Amino acid sequence: MLKYIIKRVILAALTIFLVATITFFLMNLVPGGPFVAEKSISEQAQQALFEKYGLDQPLIVQYKNYLVNMLKGDFGLSLKQRGRTVSEIIMSKFPVSAKLGGLSVLTALVIGIPLGSIAALNRGKWIDSVIIVIATCGIAVPSFVLCTVGMYLFGVNLRWLPTFGLSTPLHHILPIFSLSFYPTAYIARLMRSSMLDVIGQDYMRTARSKGLSQFVSLFKHALRNAVMPVVTYVGPLLAYTLTGSFIVEKIFVIPGLGKEFISSISNRDYTMIMGTTIFLAALIIIMNMLVDIVYKIIDPRIKLK
Amino acid sequence: MAKKNPISFHLNVDDFLPATDSEKEALVQMRPSVGFFKDAMRRLVKNKVAMVSLAFIILIMFFSFVVPSFYPYRYNQQIRGSEYLSPMQYSDKELERIEAGEKVFPHILGTDNLGRDYAIRVMVGSRISLLVGLIASAIILIIGSIYGAVAGYFGGWVDLIMMRIVDIIYTIPDILLIVLISFSIAGPLEKLAMMPGFRWIQVIGANLISIFLVFALLYWVGMARIVRGQILSLKQSEYVTAAKALGASNARIIRKHLLTNCIGTLIVTTTLQIPSSIFTESFLSFLGLGVAVPLPSLGSLASDAINGLNTYPYLLLAPAILISLIILSFNLFGDGLRDAFDPKMKS
């Protein structure tokens, strides 16, 4: 077990390092540099700016400084939002995205798992067909379609829900709905097939024949085993909600990290792009690692390699 | 009849009579044996959902590849005076022309803010989406299957190292990297497009190339894992041992024996890859990192439509519904293919 954990930690660290390296060198490919859009500035001023941000040193030195600073959690100053460090901006914006993402993940789990189980337990009946149709459509609709069409229907046309910001609970409905629709559908499909698999197992028949009630056998035996594949999906799900927030936050004008990332790309705010990419990537990679480790712990049947 | 000598060579003449018709009939093959492909196709044709999806995909392909070539409007043609027309509406100028006896083709889906016919833009947009889906899946198929086959076939430390690389790429958050790569590579590619011999880059657009590049760099790992798993079990088969004994080279065994035997998996995985590529392309186009400006894509059309959502909702609904339907039908068709090629996998 310890060996497995160590292996996963090394793999995660290696991946984060790789992402940091790719990010650094890709950013250096961008032509023009960050100060191009500025009104014509004098040679000297440009030189001073380059020195301030360390852009005048050789690439390899920049790379080394950047890695060392990154380990200290210092991503440097934002190039466009003067006087603020990248870490500061990330820390101020991230809670908004985390709240939205967390609520979406929760919604997806709370709705998806029961939906899938109900479908499996009523296999072949109309309710199963309805859930299958919803789930199949759910994984086919891109989130930007959900956002925009939902905004048009409920915000513009019916005027039931507000269309931008996050100030009241009512504001949360549309963004969370758009963000959690795909994972809900995916989890429902996953849950349905794994539940079908589990209720056909011998231990389910044993549980019933030794006199356990339907309720106990379902919740203690079936659900606990069937929910396993969903646990493995939590990692990708987190990645999905974090990157999905780019679009949702852009459309609903939510001041989160996703919107910050998109605007830093159009502003060519180098340090901000690098910082956000590495922060989000590291978050996703670490979450994935934790989910994998937890999965091995709670399911001893999985062979440890 | 004389008693037959047990050791004589006298033959029984009856054994050599011509066969009767009834005997011949027994040997006639009633039905040709059903091959792997035919069997799968037969199952596929019976699957109504898959066939309807396939028909829809073909219809969309017809509208996006064939119809634009003879459609009376072009996707970048701006018609003065007919900005923001509702579906089937004519502008004043066009009404005058109709009065004068001219025939004017109706704007089936209206026009956009620059007076461009929206129907043709949606058609060309879905062409871009389909092209991205198909080309990206082809790239993934080639890289993923070769990589997976080599790793699975050689095994040992080759497999170990190759699969560690896959593991690392697998955990890289792809969307982040796509955004990053398409952002950073656009400039150098535009420079390259200025050089003689690289003009084609301008036609395709730097962003599209970076999307393909990312697919080529990152997305093949899923395919590689699946192919490797198949090859691992296939390489134990007798026919591989036989081919080795006959002196076939490794490349030949992989090409002729192993990959051809997991063709079902390859077809299914590639088909299911198409909708996810289309998904990613529309995501990027929506963020403004997709196709170059005059070219429309379903994602960028939807993105442009948001600003005028209050007054011109049809500009959003057409591309939004179409992209969902395209992804849905590819998903359903892929599911049908999987059930047809591998009935055991059906849940």
Query: Is there a contact between B262 and B230 (Cβ–Cβ < 8 Å)?
Result: yes
Percent of chain A scored above 70 by pLDDT? Answer: 90
Q: Do B328 and A136 touch (CB under 8 A)?
A: yes
* A248 within domain boundaries: yes
Q: Which of B181, B182, B184 to mutate to test the interface with A (most CBs of A within 10 A)?
A: B184
CA distance A189 to A133: 10
Contact between residue B209 and residue B215 where contact means Cβ atoms under 8 Å apart: no
Does residue B346 surpass a pLDDT of 50?
A: no
Burial A141-176 (b: 16+ CB within 10 A, else e): bbbbbbbbbbbbebbeeeeebbbeebeeeebbebbb
Q: How confident is the model at residue A301 (pLDDT cuts 50, 70, 90)?
A: low
Question: CA-CA distance, A249 to B342, in Å (whole number)?
Answer: 41
A243/B309 CB distance under 8 A: no
Question: Mean of the per-residue pLDDT values for chain A?
Answer: 81
Residue A21 lies in a domain: no
pLDDT digits (tens, 9 = 90+) for B184-230: 777 777 777 777 777 677 666 777 777 788 778 888 888 898 889 88
Q: Are B265 and B227 in contact (CB under 8 A)?
A: yes
Instruction: Residue A282: name the closest of B54, B171, B254, B90 by CA.
Output: B171
ipTM of the complex: 0.76
Write the pLDDT tens digit of every residue in A52-77.
Answer: 666 667 778 888 888 888 887 777 77
Tell me, rounded to whole angstroms, the distance of Cα B92 from its chain centroid: 43
| pLDDT band (50, 70, 90) for residue B142 | very high
Q: How many domains does chain A have?
A: 1
Residue A28 lies in a domain: no
**Closest chain B residue to A15, measured at CA:** B168
Asked if residue A39 is part of any domain, the answer here is: no
pLDDT (mean) for A221-246: 81
pLDDT at B234 > cutoff 80: yes
- pLDDT above 90 (res B55): yes
Taking alpha carbons only, the member of B277, B265, B275 closest to residue B329 is B275
Range of the domain at A123: 93-269
- List, for residues A259-288, the tens digit of each pLDDT value: 888 888 777 777 788 888 888 888 888 888
Chain B residue closest in CA terms to A193? B347
Whether A250 and B188 lie within 8 Å, measured CB to CB: no
Whether A187 is covered by a domain: the verdict is yes
Tens digits of per-residue pLDDT, B302-313? Answer: 888 777 777 777
A20 is a domain residue: no
In a domain, A61, yes or no: no
| Domains in chain B, CATH or no CATH each | 42-77+116-345 (1.10.3720.10)
Q: Which residue of B has its CA nearest to A120?
A: B347
pTM recorded for the entire structure: 0.79
Would A2 be classed as within a structural domain? no
- What whole-number distance in Å separates Cα of residue B89 and Cα of residue B78? 16
CATH number at residue A163: 1.10.3720.10
